[in-house]
Structure 1
């Protein structure tokens, strides 16, 4: 939604994975905190109607690699800064305020990057690479590519979980 001057009425647009149960918990929490004030514009990248052109050109694969947001000024934001800005928008800026410290922010981003890389597996879904391959196959009109794990070939490597994660999941 745009204001009459062409500037959006929201402060930040959150791009989220609507197929991720943990992501949806965060979205639902933030929606409740936003309480209809429209400070946050929530956009589901997994929705069939998702349009990269309307979202700073951020395609599905890019958005799945790590969290993205778009500021009202059009600036693309990624990583922990997204959470900081979202929480500031709903009056809970203190939660992520410590990440404004450069050292803490860098450490938080490194931890988040690891989480983002393996979040689909950690939350019980297939590896991110497999999800992206399936989505590309569906977009190319090949229909449901089925499970790409378990076989030989390009998809099999994407199904591997790091040793520490494999041990933790056992």
Structure 2
């Protein structure tokens, strides 16, 4: 490998962003699936914290409670973590750069905190919908007489 190619390889590896997400959360898994498709350059390393043996830099419960990312060696959470992920994905990079503005990041953080309050209800609703869609149901089935 030439020095130039070696330098580019190291540069890409160093610039990689790590995302920790809750793989047991249907909302999270859908969002991460979209991010993986958009991450055509493989700049983001996604770690499912719900899996046994997942590489966790802090307490697993903390990682499951809030979205976390590591960018340039710095551990971020909440809106700042989303912004780091966006910066690593070229098509979303402008959003991530805009979030470097303190005012913009504060607005995104408030929105994220509101989302966290309704996340359990959304999680339950999506889980029930998926269960019904796959043929299962939380409610007892009744037969109609014809």
Q: TM-score, normalised by structure 1?
A: 0.59
The structure with the largest helix share of the pair is: 2
2:89 alignment partner in structure 1: 90
Is 1:14–1:43's contact at 8 Å kept on the other side of the alignment?
Answer: yes
TM-aligned CA deviation for residue 16 of structure 1: 0.4
Moved over 6 A (4+): none
2:4 alignment partner in structure 1: none
Is 1:66–1:117's contact at 8 Å kept on the other side of the alignment?
Answer: no
Q: Deviations over 1:32-74 (max 9, x none)?
A: 1112x3200000000012232xxx2x12110122111112x32
Q: 1:47 aligns with which of 37, 44, 51?
A: 51
1:17 alignment partner in structure 2: 22
Q: Which consecutive unaligned segments of at least 5 residues does structure 1 have? A: 126-170
Q: Which consecutive unaligned segments of at least 5 residues does structure 2 have? A: 1-6, 126-146
Q: Which has the larger radius of gyration?
A: 2
1:60 alignment partner in structure 2: 60
TM-aligned CA deviation for residue 9 of structure 1: 5.2
- RMSD of Structure 2 on Structure 1 (CA): 2.6
Q: Which has the higher contact order (CA 8 A, sep 6+)?
A: 2
Count of residues in Structure 1 that have an aligned counterpart in Structure 2: 116
TM-aligned CA deviation for residue 112 of structure 1: 0.7
Aligned residue for 1:18, secondary structure, equals coil
Is 1:20–1:120's contact at 8 Å kept on the other side of the alignment?
Answer: no
